[in-house]
A and B are shown apart, each in its own frame.
Chain A
Amino acid sequence: MRPLGKILLLLMGLCIHSALMATDNWPTPPATVQPAPVQISGPLTGGTADHTKFEVLKKPFASGPEVTKACLSCHTETGKHFMKNIHWTWEWRNPDTGQMLGKKHLINNFCTNARGNEGMCAQCHAGYGWKDENFDFKDETNIDCLVCHDTTGTYYKTPNSAGSPACSVMFEGKPAIDLSLVAQSVDLPQRANCGACHFNGGGGDNVKHGDLSSALKNPPRQLDVHMGIDGLNFACTACHVTKQHVWAGSRYRMDAKDHKGAGKPGQRRDVATCESCHGLKPHPVDSLAAFKRNDHISSVACQTCHIPEFARGGVATMTDWDWRTAGRTRNGEGYHEHGYTQGNGEHRYTYKSIKGTFVYAENLVPLYRWFNGQMNYTTIDTKFDVTKPVAVNDFNGSRDDGHSRIWPFKQMRTWLPADIGNGTLVYAHLWGEDSDSYWGNYDMGKAIAHGMKEFGLPYSGQYGFVETLSYWPITHMVAPKEDSLSCESCHAKDGRLQGVEGLYLPGRDSNQWVDLIGVLAVLGTLIGIISHALIRLFSSRGAQH
């Protein structure tokens, strides 16, 4: 019986193992689980009202703003609150640098500028109808409540202006939205709500951030330990805590090193830092190594070890973009080329006439640098040397400033249109119904002249392309602890922190002279011993002693 029992146990073990293997199909995300389990949104999860029971929502709505009016009839203060947040204002002045930031002003090295292209870009504005400078930011009914609160998945947005006929065809023929159903189905934002825009930054799935992709809609725990549907199933707002429709955790102003930690119960949920939940000693001290890991907190961001790679889960991110090749046509028409098949089997364009050439990659090892949380942007009025690569957003940090830690970044490299004469970036007029818009007419010179003139900006008339870099702190796709980096990922020659300065890293660093002299001295000792022994061996009477 005993050997039989052992065999049975072994078989059972195998069965359990293969069952685990079957669910463990990373990096391919699992098929959508129905019904979707409730995502954890923080203390408000569950709510106090059933929106299907509100009379004001049980009617047909002709437009989004009508729904908003109904929402505001109960949520009387929400409009005022909402108008303060960056999803509405699209601008934010950094009090530390004085720089005016936000999509309303910035140029990124993806689709360049939203400014002047709102007809297209403001699909991701949490409002209705922003297509030009005439948009009324004071009208509460322009707020789009549904884009964030819809849970049916049937709500969508289209460009606020027609654009070139060549482009607008893409948005035709979509099914009508049952606004009454959507209005009655509202709940706290789910990952798919935030993801509709944030997963698609830069013009496509995971193009911009690298750590924010559609794979996070229903991620397995291995992809994201917090959002995993077979794990904690957090919604975005579980960490990006919200107070009166203002969210914690903006990339524009980061806490690179949280000195406060979790705070007492009920306190301190004003940031999206890891420490705000996990505290300042996150590793349970059950070993010397755990104690040492807690030491690392002061120099190493949690993300550095706990996000071993980004662009995981089968969705690639873009690493290089070349606008110099944009504008090629076939038979007078724009075209695109497939050239990359990503982990989940989907094809990605590697060339588009409207944008140029792209390079995609997945499962990327981040770039690691000291980071103090403050980004400095090359804005439309920043002058720079066009012959050298320019950082669209640059950052600082050092071991000694008290605010920095070693952070992981995605680096994006783009050849971006620029004003070569004045040495500035440009606002390009990409989207429009006129003959100057680049998307449809493919004349970059005209598009830039139009874009700069529209906002009264100086333009030398001489455009060209500059090599630009941008840096995206990696903070999502936190792997389960068993997948985090091991010590020797960094504590080794040619390890991950190879280029990081300002620290002595055992295993990576050593004093070359001490090593050289030490090794020579040890070898010298050995040679001395061997010589001594040989002389003893061969000297006349020494052999006996």
Chain B
Amino acid sequence: MAIRRVKIFTLFERFWHWSQMLLIVLLMITGFGIHGFHHLLDFEIAVTLHTLAAFALLLLWAFSIFWLFTTRHWRHFIPTVKGMWGVLRFYILGIFKGEHHPYRKAFWRKHNPLQALTYLMLKIVLFPLIWGSGLIYLFYFVWRDLPHATLWLDGVALVHTGAAFTILMFVMIHVYMLTTGHSFKSHVMPMINGFDEVDLTPEEEAYLQNDEPENIR
């Protein structure tokens, strides 16, 4: 086993991550503006940007889902309890004692168990909740004449807002997590140049060096 710097985030993944980040920030700002929490933008501009950003994000997700399944990268997000306690213990206790993060990235496990579970929940619960409620909200004009439409809209808005708050909490924790470990930079760089330290098996190392030398340093 050898720790090597390996490209674990492909160009598409990095593009996905950062464009998703920008769109979510835009959606947060415009969304909470529409909700009435601030008045930085005209309502009309806020609604227009919110809708366009939502469509763009949906398109991005369509590509990313396709990518995840065609490249087998979805396997990174299979939940596991193996090593979960170690990670939790680190954030609760170990981090204060100056311990090292217990998790080492593997070539086919680039997220620690807590990350994997969090991202999975984001992908299969929170995101579907916000875009599902968002689409129903957006297409209100189609179902507005159904009985009790306004009551249903109440509920849809409630789910949408609730999901937005939860995503905001995720974003805050997500960003804070970057400050843990070695350095902020060491956490951000993999998502910029794609390379991170990965614990490779000899076979993986040999394969990468022979067949994908550009992906290993």
Contacts from A to B (Cβ < 8 Å)? 287-289, 292, 295, 298-299, 399-400, 402, 486-488, 491-493, 502-504, 506-511, 514-515, 517-519, 521-522, 525-526, 529, 532-533, 535-536, 539-545
Contact across chains for B169 and A493 when beta carbons are under 8 A apart: no
| Interface of chain B, main secondary structure | helix
- How close is A286's CB to chain B, nearest CB, in angstroms? 12
| Cβ contacts under 8 Å, A511 to chain B | 154, 157-158, 161
Cβ-Cβ contact count across A and B, 8 Å cutoff: 113
| Cβ contacts under 8 Å, A400 to chain B | 147-148, 150
Does residue B162 face the partner (Cβ distance < 8 Å to A)? yes
Contacts from B to A (Cβ < 8 Å)? 34-36, 39, 42-44, 47-48, 51-52, 91, 95-100, 140-141, 144-145, 147-148, 150, 153-154, 157-158, 161-162, 164-166, 168-169, 172-173, 176, 179-182
Q: Known interface pairs A504-B157, A507-B43. Does A540 touch B36 (Cβ–Cβ under 8 Å)?
A: no
Contact across chains for A545 and B98 when beta carbons are under 8 A apart: yes
| Cβ contacts under 8 Å, A299 to chain B | 144
Contact across chains for B96 and A287 when beta carbons are under 8 A apart: no
Contact across chains for B42 and A487 when beta carbons are under 8 A apart: yes
Complex alpha-carbon distance, A509 and B144, angstroms: 17
- How close is A380's CB to chain B, nearest CB, in angstroms? 39
Q: Known interface pairs A504-B157, A522-B165. Does A288 touch B52 (Cβ–Cβ under 8 Å)?
A: yes
| Cβ contacts under 8 Å, A402 to chain B | 145
Complex alpha-carbon distance, A532 and B99, angstroms: 15
Q: Which partner residue on chain A sits nearest B147 by CB separation?
A: A400
Q: Which of B34, B97, B162 interacts with A518 by CB under 8 Å?
A: B162
| Cβ contacts under 8 Å, B181 to chain A | 545
Complex alpha-carbon distance, A262 and B145, angstroms: 22
Contact across chains for A529 and B173 when beta carbons are under 8 A apart: yes
Contact across chains for A526 and B180 when beta carbons are under 8 A apart: no
Contact across chains for A491 and B43 when beta carbons are under 8 A apart: yes
Contact across chains for A292 and B47 when beta carbons are under 8 A apart: yes
| Cβ contacts under 8 Å, A491 to chain B | 34, 43
- How close is B140's CB to chain A, nearest CB, in angstroms? 8
Q: Which partner residue on chain B sits nearest A294 by CB separation?
A: B141
| Cβ contacts under 8 Å, A399 to chain B | 150
Contact across chains for A510 and B43 when beta carbons are under 8 A apart: no
Complex alpha-carbon distance, A536 and B179, angstroms: 11
- How close is B55's CB to chain A, nearest CB, in angstroms? 9
Q: Known interface pairs A486-B43, A539-B97. Does A506 touch B34 (Cβ–Cβ under 8 Å)?
A: yes
Q: Known interface pairs A522-B169, A525-B169. Does A545 touch B180 (Cβ–Cβ under 8 Å)?
A: yes
Contact across chains for B141 and A507 when beta carbons are under 8 A apart: no
What are 28 A-B residue pairs whose CB atoms fall within 8 Å in the complex?
A288-B51, A289-B48, A299-B144, A400-B148, A486-B43, A487-B44, A487-B47, A488-B43, A491-B34, A506-B35, A510-B36, A517-B162, A517-B165, A518-B161, A518-B165, A521-B165, A521-B166, A521-B169, A522-B168, A522-B169, A522-B172, A525-B172, A525-B173, A533-B176, A540-B98, A542-B96, A545-B98, A545-B181
Contact across chains for B36 and A507 when beta carbons are under 8 A apart: yes
Contact across chains for B36 and A492 when beta carbons are under 8 A apart: yes
